[in-house]
């Protein structure tokens, strides 16, 4: 969240940023509640002080004065209870609004309201036309690689079984991504698939309510994570890190669970929007001076990975209206997917496969993650996150780009040592 002191001093800028980012937050109402909260805190402190003074007088007061002091003490106790209850209510409403205020935006963030206004800043490889192109769902059916029907029967729609050589390829992608991450100093970490709601909120996500994309566990304060960004962000909650140790880099391995509410009919074909998938997530704790450069490093790492997979892609600068609440700046990599629905009903379009965000101190402030400089000064750390690989979408790009006229699917050369085969051929591929 933003520092309330910053919001007080820059209320108009915060309003403009909310409008810039399509964030529906009543900043004026927040400021009104902030004044009420300050007044409430002051009044509660005054009553407590007066009550303590009465208690001190009671200790040495003559007997004839004690009844009056007792009565005054009771009155102050009742008044304090009322004012504390009012303050609790005010603080609850104040915090709810404060948590909805999005992060500040980098000055170079493109203006725009939807993902259609994101700006492509560079491309790698030109898509190769494929005669008689098939999408990954058709290819998977031919090679018996996915089973959506039985997944729907056992769990529900969009929980597919991944079978045969595609299951091996998925694990190969995870290990390949981990090796790439480790080369850049990231520590592999298998994270829990659940987190406390307070940690999810701290990371900037909504675990409950109509707008949530998260599966919550009934009758407890736990929810399934939508990304290891959540569990990695919470790893150092309420800690003070040494600036000398920064940046700290983790590569989180986890399943991800997303309800994808409202996503049906929009980019929902096959594996593109499923409710469970595996991912390797890059996460960095940094000092404020490091974070801008580290965002560029995250994008370079992601690009290196996709270059090695030899898949055409483009890098996209995310516009203000499409930024997530915690993001100060964000880049996506979109891979070419020959079977995806494109313009005018034609096959072939780019689809998001990675993202990289600098969240500055937005998450750290919520989670109480600080850093101590060499000068002894304490400040909030900066956090960054990026996708090394989300296996579901990586598999789409590989299956569709690497299909061959004879019906086979080539495995990217970089993955062959990991999976032990170079091709997925027609017919039974694993016995």
Catalytic center residues: 258, 273, 352, 355, 393
- DSSP letter assigned to residue 313: E
How far is residue 235's CA from residue 202's CA, in Å, rounded to a whole number?
A: 12
Residue 272 near residue 241 (C-beta atoms within 8 A): no
Neighbours of 199 (CB within 10 A): 23
For the chain, the residue count is: 431
194 forms beta bridges with 224
Q: Where are the alpha helices (DSSP H) in 227-290?
A: 228-233
| Rounded CA separation 18/21 (Å) | 5
Written as six digits, the tokens of 250 are 């983790």
Peptide bond between residue 247 and the one before it cis (omega within 30 degrees of 0): yes
Instruction: Count Cβ neighbours within 10 Å for each residue of 337-356 and write b for 16 or more, e otherwise.
Output: bbbbeeeeeeebbbbbbbbb
Cα–Cα distance measured from residue 403 to residue 426, given in angstroms and rounded to the nearest whole number: 11
């Amino acid at each position: 969240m933003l520092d309330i002191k910053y919001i007080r001093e820059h209320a108009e800028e915060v309003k403009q940023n909310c409008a810039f980012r399509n964030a529906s937050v009543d900043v004026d109402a927040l400021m009104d509640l902030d004044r009420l909260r300050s007044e409430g805190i002051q009044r509660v402190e005054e009553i407590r002080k007066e009550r303590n003074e009465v208690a001190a007088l009671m200790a040495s007061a003559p007997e004839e004065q004690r009844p009056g002091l007792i009565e005054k003490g009771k009155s102050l106790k009742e008044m304090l209870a009322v004012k504390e209850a009012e303050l609790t209510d005010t603080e609850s409403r104040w915090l709810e609004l404060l948590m909805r205020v999005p992060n500040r935006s980098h000055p170079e963030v493109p203006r725009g309201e939807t993902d259609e206004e994101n700006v492509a800043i560079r491309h790698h490889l030109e898509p190769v036309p494929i005669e008689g192109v098939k999408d990954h769902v058709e290819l998977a059916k031919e090679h018996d690689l996915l089973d959506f029907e039985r997944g729907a029967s056992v769990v529900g729609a969009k929980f597919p079984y991944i079978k045969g050589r595609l299951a091996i390829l998925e694990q190969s992608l995870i290990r390949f991504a981990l090796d790439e991450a480790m080369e850049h100093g990231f520590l592999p970490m298998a994270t829990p698939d659940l987190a406390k709601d307070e940690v999810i909120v701290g990371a900037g996500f909504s675990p409950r309510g109509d707008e949530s994309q998260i599966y919550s566990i009934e009758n407890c304060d736990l929810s399934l994570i939508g990304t290891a960004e959540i569990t990695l962000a919470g790893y150092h909650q309420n800690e003070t890190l040494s600036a000398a140790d920064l940046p700290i880099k983790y590569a989180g391995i986890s399943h991800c669970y997303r309800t994808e509410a409202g996503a049906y009919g929009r980019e929902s074909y096959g594996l593109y929007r499923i409710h469970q998938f595996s991912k390797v997530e890059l996460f960095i704790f940094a000092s404020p001076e490091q974070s801008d450069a580290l965002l560029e490093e995250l994008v370079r790492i992601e690009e290196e990975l996709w270059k090695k997979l030899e898949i055409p892609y483009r890098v996209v600068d995310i516009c203000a209206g499409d930024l997530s609440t915690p993001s100060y700046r964000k880049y996506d990599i979109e891979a070419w997917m020959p079977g995806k629905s494109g313009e005018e009903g034609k096959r072939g379009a780019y689809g998001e496969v990675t993202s990289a965000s600098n969240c500055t101190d937005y998450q750290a402030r919520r989670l109480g993650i600080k850093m101590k400089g060499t000068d002894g000064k304490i400040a909030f750390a900066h956090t960054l996150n990026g996708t090394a690989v989300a296996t579901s979408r990586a598999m789409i790009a590989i299956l569709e780009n690497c299909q061959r006229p004879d019906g086979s699917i080539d495995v990217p050369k970089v993955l062959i040592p990991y999976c032990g085969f170079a091709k997925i051929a027609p017919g039974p591929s694993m016995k």
